[in-house]
């Protein structure tokens, strides 16, 4: 990856972390965006911030999040919300704290 690519990818990471921290993104959607940005930055970045991928892996596969929720029948989608809320509650503080860390670490 070139230095320019790394800079652009870091900007995407910071943008996703800010949107998650401000609750512009839902927790699951935001964590997924952050995990994706970390993946594209490389293994070293992923290893520094494993909580995002851990959180996404703990969401059962049958639970939609992000835009995929719009494709589900409303009754079926709403029936999964309690399970998603439980996983989010378990990780919320750690995810938000790590968003603060990501912003502080890569904004300079």
Q: Mean pLDDT in each 10-residue stretch from start to end of the chain (108 residues)?
A: 94 98 94 97 97 96 85 88 94 98 94
Amino acid 76: pLDDT: 87
Cα-flanking dihedrals φ and ψ of residue 11, to 5°?
A: -60, -40
For 21, the domain range is: 3-106
| DSSP alpha helix (H) spans, the chain | 3-21, 27-41, 43-48, 51-58, 74-79, 81-106
The two structure tokens encoding residue 2: 């070139």
- Give the count of domains, the chain: 1
Amino acid 108: pLDDT: 74
**Residues 33-64: tens digit of each pLDDT:** 999 999 999 999 999 999 999 999 999 988 98
Nearest to 86 by CA among 52, 53, 63, 107: 63
Exposed/middle/buried for residue 10 (C-beta within 10 Å: 0-12, 13-18, 19+): middle
């Amino acid at each position: 990856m070139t230095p320019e690519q790394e800079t652009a990818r870091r900007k995407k990471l910071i943008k996703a972390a800010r949107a998650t921290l401000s609750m512009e993104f839902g927790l699951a959607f935001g964590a997924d965006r952050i995990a994706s940005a970390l993946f594209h930055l490389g293994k070293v970045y992923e290893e520094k911030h494993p909580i995002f991928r851990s959180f996404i892996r703990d969401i059962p596969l049958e639970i939609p999040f992000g835009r995929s929720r719009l494709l589900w029948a409303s009754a079926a989608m709403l029936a999964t919300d309690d399970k998603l809320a439980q996983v989010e509650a378990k990780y919320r503080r750690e995810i938000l704290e790590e968003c603060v860390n990501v912003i502080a670490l890569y904004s300079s």
